[in-house]
Amino acid sequence: MRPVPPPQTYRVKSFGCQMNVYDGERMGELLDAQGMAPAAEGAEADLVVLNTCHIREKAVDRVYSDIGRLRRGDGSAPLIAVAGCVAQAQGDEIMRRAPSVGVVVGPQAYHRLPALVAEAAAGRRALDTDMPAAAKFAALPPRRRVGASAFLTVQEGCDKFCTYCVVPYTRGAEVSRPFADLVAEGERLVDAGAKEITLLGQNVNAWRDERGRGLEVLAEALAALPGLARIRYMTSHPNDMTEGLIAAHRDNPKLMPFLHLPVQAGSDRVLAAMNRSHTVASYRDVIERVRAVRPGIAVSGDFIVGFPGESDAEFAETLRLVDAVGYAQCFSFKYSPRPGTPAAAMDGQIAPEVMDERLQALQAALQRSSLAFNQAAVGQRCKVLIERPGRRPGQWLGKSPWLQSVYFEGDAAIGDLVEVELVEAGPNSLAARLLVPAPA
Ligand code: 5AD
Ligand code: SF4
């Protein structure tokens, strides 16, 4: 690799989950602290960080095509850093196959990004995919300006080893960040303008502090921050929904009535083959207990169709579960074999046409479910946190307590928490009428 002048401008492109979005923001802050500036819209950056996702699809191919597309008209290219979960899983191969990549950095090592970039600029390609336990966060600069709704990663990694999933391999074992660090970061986020904080983790409800206390204790400490209006958390595993966390949905008024609780499939045989270590009944029991303390709570989930060996009858059980639970919103995916996971080597891989059919049927059922949930909210009054302008002039888009997208017109601004009446529902959003003018 030829030496280049130290980069002055950067761009971070994050793919995949919200934890990657959070990591991408923190990498940006790290580069800012080095005196670099984000490249202006439309301008070319000296450094491009591809913050990759490995969860599904041909993620690796995508990375190579993105790298190829970064080549400029005159044949030159920015300094390229590949970060995220593809970097972790395929770092050596990326270095071999893509000579234009200067830096490969895994999700647990990105606090070293500036040093790695400096190495690469000096002409020495640099790779760091070490996975030390959470040393990274202590090495990051403090949070800077953030939007009204901010992410806070509290826990990383996963010990569950669902047989389809790469996360335990790319993000490593479950590690919780310390209570005091998280409260301090929460304070900084609120000082920087956050009204809502979403606590993030692959298994966020497996978070424990040094004394073994659960997420409800962190939510309570954050709720004590006067400037903070809303607290959310995702993604949760059904087996980690403790009594304490369930009770927080009754006792903590800032904890929003929304629970993202993936189930993946509606058949006990498939769940066992997935190594989910819960059943349909135990999953439904968790939801019932949450609904008992917080009636009307919005439940969302993740589903995988076409797991190896899934029969038509087993898939039909997934559809029945959707109808029985009544989801507010959901994510649904075709099973995608991930290299190195047990399911990738299982018999009974499902044909693509069958996957397509099942996904369509599932998405139709989920749409019906969301529409029913949203329609039931019409006529209610609620607070909406404004996130951005809507498509039409004078229109605003924000989130209800139930994480519904709500749009309305009126005198308001981004970051305002306004009172509306919900007037019309679609499967993916609601129209509302502004009731209380935003404070001046
Ligand atoms: N194929 C399809 N979907 C997957 N997910 C995780 N691994 C796979 C895979 N191999 C989905 C699960 C999980 C979400 C984050 O991604 O539904 O909850
Ligand atoms: Fe993957 Fe299962 Fe862990 Fe979720 S709980 S990150 S699906 S292994």
Residues 369 and 385 grouped into a single domain: no
Distance 316 CA to ligand 2 centre (A): 23
Of 279, 303, 299, the C-alpha closest to 361 is: 303
Quote the pLDDT of residue 145.
67
Distance 433 CA to ligand 1 centre (A): 37
Q: Are 8 and 126 in contact (CB under 8 A)?
A: no
Q: What percent of the chain has pLDDT over 90?
A: 87
Q: Angle between the 352-377 and 312-325 helix axes, to the nearest 10 degrees?
A: 10
Residues 187 and 102 grouped into a single domain: no
Cα separation of the two ends of the chain: 56
For residue 54, give the ligand nearest its CA.
1
In single-letter form, the type of residue at position 427 comes to P
As a whole number of angstroms, the distance between CA 247 and CA 250 comes to 5
pLDDT tens digits along 89-109? 999 999 999 999 999 999 999
Q: Is 327 in the pocket of ligand 1 (CB under 6 A)?
A: no
For residue 169, give the ligand nearest its CA.
2
Residue 345, Cα to own-chain centre: how many angstroms?
Answer: 28
pLDDT tens digits along 155-167? 999 999 999 999 9
Task: Give the mean pLDDT of 340-364.
Answer: 97
Task: Give the mean pLDDT of 322-344.
Answer: 96
Asked whether residue 29 is assigned to any structural domain, the reply reads: yes
Task: Give the mean pLDDT of 22-46.
Answer: 92
Asked whether residue 397 is assigned to any structural domain, the reply reads: yes
Task: Give the mean pLDDT of 425-439.
Answer: 85
Asked whether residue 1 is assigned to any structural domain, the reply reads: no
Asked whether residue 244 is assigned to any structural domain, the reply reads: no
What CATH number is associated with residue 342? 3.30.750.200
Residues 315 and 363 grouped into a single domain: yes
Ligand 2 binding pocket mutation candidate from 19, 202, 271, 274 (most atoms within 8 A of CB):
202
Asked whether residue 250 is assigned to any structural domain, the reply reads: no
Instruction: List the structure tokens of 237.
Output: 């595993």
pLDDT tens digits along 184-243? 999 999 999 999 999 999 999 999 999 999 999 999 999 999 999 999 999 999 999 999
Of 86, 221, 235, 31, the C-alpha closest to 153 is: 235
Q: Which region among 74-78, 248-252, 289-293 has the lowest average model confidence (pLDDT)? A: 74-78
332 phi, psi to nearest 5 deg: -135, 140
Task: Give the mean pLDDT of 396-404.
Answer: 98
Quote the pLDDT of residue 42.
78
Q: Are 105 and 95 in contact (CB under 8 A)?
A: no
What CATH number is associated with residue 391? 2.40.50.140
Question: How many separate domains does the chain show?
Answer: 4
Q: Is 236 in the pocket of ligand 2 (CB under 6 A)?
A: no
Quote the pLDDT of residue 122.
96
Final residue of a structural domain among 105, 131, 157: 131
Q: Is 237 in the pocket of ligand 2 (CB under 6 A)?
A: yes
Q: Is 307 in the pocket of ligand 1 (CB under 6 A)?
A: no
Residues 210 and 320 grouped into a single domain: no
Residues 21 and 60 grouped into a single domain: yes
Range of the domain at 61: 9-131
Place of tokens 């969301």: 370
Task: Give the mean pLDDT of 363-392.
Answer: 96
366 phi, psi to nearest 5 deg: -70, -35
Final residue of a structural domain among 86, 108, 131: 131
Of 109, 257, 243, the C-alpha closest to 171 is: 109
Residues 284 and 348 grouped into a single domain: yes
As a whole number of angstroms, the distance between CA 19 and CA 342 comes to 24
Q: Are 28 and 38 in contact (CB under 8 A)?
A: yes
Distance 250 CA to ligand 1 centre (A): 30
Atom nearest to 17 CA in ligand 1: 15
Asked whether residue 3 is assigned to any structural domain, the reply reads: no
What CATH number is associated with residue 212? 3.30.750.210
Quote the pLDDT of residue 134.
66
Quote the pLDDT of residue 397.
97
Q: Is 370 in the pocket of ligand 2 (CB under 6 A)?
A: no
As a whole number of angstroms, the distance between CA 259 and CA 377 comes to 17
Asked whether residue 371 is assigned to any structural domain, the reply reads: yes
Task: Give the mean pLDDT of 427-431.
Answer: 96
- Taking all residues of the chain, what is their mean pLDDT, rounded to a whole number? 94
Residues 174 and 86 grouped into a single domain: no
The secondary structure of 411-431 as a DSSP string is: S--TT-EEEEEEEEE-SSEEE
Quote the pLDDT of residue 206.
97
For residue 236, give the ligand nearest its CA.
2
Give alpha helix (H) positions in 233-384: 243-251, 268-273, 280-293, 312-325, 352-377
The secondary structure of 296-337 as a DSSP string is: T-EEEEEEEE--TT--HHHHHHHHHHHHHH--SEEEEEE---
User: Which band of pLDDT confidence, cut at 50, 70 and 90, is reported for residue 142?
Assistant: confident
User: Which band of pLDDT confidence, cut at 50, 70 and 90, is reported for residue 66?
Assistant: very high
pLDDT of 390 over the 70 cut: yes
User: Which band of pLDDT confidence, cut at 50, 70 and 90, is reported for residue 1?
Assistant: confident
pLDDT of 421 over the 90 cut: yes
Asked whether residue 137 is assigned to any structural domain, the reply reads: no
Quote the pLDDT of residue 2.
87
As a whole number of angstroms, the distance between CA 117 and CA 127 comes to 10
User: Which band of pLDDT confidence, cut at 50, 70 and 90, is reported for residue 437?
Assistant: low
pLDDT of 401 over the 80 cut: yes
Ligand 2 binding pocket mutation candidate from 155, 158, 331 (most atoms within 8 A of CB):
158
Q: Is 168 in the pocket of ligand 2 (CB under 6 A)?
A: yes
Quote the pLDDT of residue 399.
98
pLDDT of 439 over the 60 cut: no
Quote the pLDDT of residue 436.
66
Residues 172 and 214 grouped into a single domain: yes
Q: Helix, strand or coil for residue 291? A: helix
What CATH number is associated with residue 96? 3.40.50.12160
Final residue of a structural domain among 85, 103, 131: 131
Q: Helix, strand or coil for residue 267? A: coil
- pLDDT higher at 184 or 132: 184
Task: Give the mean pLDDT of 371-389.
Answer: 97
Residues 124 and 148 grouped into a single domain: no
Of 56, 95, 102, 54, the C-alpha closest to 77 is: 102
Quote the pLDDT of residue 155.
94
What CA dihedral angle connects 384, 389, 391 and 395, to 10 degrees? Answer: 60
Task: Give, as one character, the DSSP assignment of residue 264.
Answer: B
Q: By CB neighbour count within 10 A (0-12 exposed, 13-18 middle, 19+ buried), where does 349 fall?
A: middle
Quote the pLDDT of residue 280.
98
Q: Is 47 in the pocket of ligand 2 (CB under 6 A)?
A: no
Instruction: List the structure tokens of 257.
Output: 């009535």
Residue 138 CB coordination number (10 Å): 10
Distance 392 CA to ligand 2 centre (A): 39
Residues 354 and 415 grouped into a single domain: no
Q: Is 158 in the pocket of ligand 2 (CB under 6 A)?
A: yes
Residues 371 and 386 grouped into a single domain: no
Residues 152 and 78 grouped into a single domain: no
